[in-house]
Amino acid sequence: MEIYLKSRDFKNWLSVKNGPHIPTKLNDKNELVSKSEDEWDEDDFRKLTIDNKTLNILLVSPDKTEYNLVRRCTSAHEVWKLLILTHEGTEQVKNAKLALLNRDYELFKMKPNESIKNLYNRLLDITNGLLGLGKVFGQDELVRKLLGCLNDEWEPKVTAITRRRGLPRRFQNKNFNKGEARKMDPPTCFECNKPGHIKVDCTQLKKKKLFKNKALKAWHLSDDESFDDEVTEQVANLCFMALSDTEDRDNEVDDSYTFGELQFAFDELLVELKKKCSQCSSLKKNIVSIENEKDLLVIENEKLKSELSLLKNDIAKPTMCNDLALEKRSRFTQRKECEFRKII
């Protein structure tokens, strides 16, 4: 609305901002006093006309609900103040909104699998709210905030942007410095921490995977058995079964296993067992829910049966009454007929 008033005539906005024009004059004591209508000059008429045009714009713009709020206002300045109070609230409300938006701005982060477009729109919603409440942002501040909330997969692009724009070095990843981009160190295995090969080609990892497959076979064979409440005890039993199964061992694998290999297999089986236990717990909850629903349906069925029985009784009562009335009338008729015959 502010932009609309300024586009119509900037004097309209000044009338809203500064209040209505009051024609005044200096009296004999050099004091400002109000002029009477007969003393108004052309300048007074022109300013008062602008005030009334502005008031007319503000009165015809709102809907019916807002019009009922401002219809008693006598100046554009008064209408504007009332509309601001209605839509933006008091200073206490503004401070509360500002605190909430500041918190959202400080804790702003990129969500998992969120696109850049959605991220930018969420940031704009927060910053627009803060701008409306009087907070000022610099362009570099918004750029730094946007780059700082991106996740790790965007680090190369963040580094390229920060170098190009000359942003602070805290946004630059040390792994993407100019000198290091040309140096290629020999690969290091993340499994055994030895240089010269990568984790995929590590012999120790292959050994662990083979051992894991053999342990998982023993686990899947016992999938249909009931679960024990003690998780660690069950995993220990499975590991013992896998270790004692010497018939299916591969000759390429050493018969003696290190503590690390056993720990690796134990952890894998523990994760698998927890998944199965979680599935079992979910199924048990579903069973309980279905049983409760069944009980409710049984109760509702009994209730409907009782209502049906009552309806049948209500229908049968008028029929019985009609039958009794007809029977009494028939007896009365027969009695009268007998008396008539005796008379004859």
pLDDT for res 287: 92
Tens of pLDDT along 183-232? 445 666 766 777 766 666 777 666 666 655 555 555 554 544 444 444 44
Q: Domain locations in the chain?
A: 1-88, 91-170
Q: Are 48 and 21 in contact (CB under 8 A)?
A: yes
H or E element in which residue 24 lies: strand 24-26
131: left (phi over 0), alpha (psi -120 to 50) or beta: alpha
Q: What is the mean pLDDT of residues 117-138?
A: 84
Buried b (16+ CB within 10 A) or exposed e, 306-331: eeeeeeeeeeeeeeeeeeeeeeeeee
Tens of pLDDT along 328-337? 777 777 777 7
Q: Distance of CA 256 to CAs 192, 218, 249, Å? A: 19, 19, 12
Q: Are 270 and 232 in contact (CB under 8 A)?
A: yes
Closest CA to 57 of 42, 43, 44, 76: 76
Q: Are 35 and 24 in contact (CB under 8 A)?
A: yes
